[in-house]
Amino acid sequence: MNKYICTNRSKNYQTEVEQILISRKQEILDFFNAIDNGQFNFNVYIYNTINDLVDGMKNRGFESMPTYMCACYKDEDNSLNFFEPNDNSSENEWSKEQYKNVIFHEEIHGIQSIIYGKQPEWLTEGIAKYLDGTYSKGIKYLLDEYINKTDIPSMYELENEFGMHDYDSYDYAYLMVKYLIETLGKNKFLIAIRSSETIKELSNNLVTTAVNYYNKKFVDTDLKKK
């Protein structure tokens, strides 16, 4: 059973969060080829506002939480951390409907952490983005609209400075994980990421390799259509 520590305004929202966590858990377990023996439970914190969430995380000793974050999983205390969006959100705010996917995204992090332990952020975010449907418009759209409009960042930045630059680190994290799963196969990928040494080997120049792989793939596809 998940344990709830809530300071938000509505007890009904706790029930809604729990329903999302329960109903979507199996999707994550299926991806990781994992069986639930009762170990995938979390301390779930729900704050009243996004500012309360950021302040609450800092008060609990998590100084590294960027202010742009709207939720997070922390392995230090096995916690999923959320806030309750407004019922009538403005255009620039998270709606409760949009936030459902955020809850799912953080649950992916939590389950991955329980299975594998602490892993590089590019890998954990890449897997979460691979599963949560953010890039439903496809790789070509991502390349054309975002990635090919900027210089490819270094692996050093993605490994050590994730989210600290003007480009969207999540785009590259997703692309790298998508590439590894596509070229290795999912089962071999899951075996490979059990080892920190194998992850290190796979990450060598991975971002450039993945970008070039998909650019070439779409060029070759376009040529075949002609």
Q: What's the confidence (pLDDT) of residue 69?
A: 83
Report phi then psi at 6, rounded to 5. -120, 135
Residue 28 exposed, middle or buried by CB count within 10 Å (0-12, 13-18, 19+) = buried
> pLDDT tens, 47-75?
999 999 999 999 998 876 776 789 999 99
Q: Where are the alpha helices (DSSP H) in the chain?
A: 11-31, 50-59, 96-116, 121-132, 139-145, 155-160, 169-184, 186-192, 196-202, 206-225
Query: How many CB atoms sit inside 10 A of residue 128's CB?
Result: 23
Mean pLDDT computed over 66-86: 91
Q: Rounded CA gap, 174 and 178, in Å?
A: 6
Q: What's the confidence (pLDDT) of residue 68?
A: 72
- The domains of the chain, with CATH numbers, are 3-116 (3.40.30.160), 121-225 (no CATH)
pTM of the complete model beyond 0.85: yes
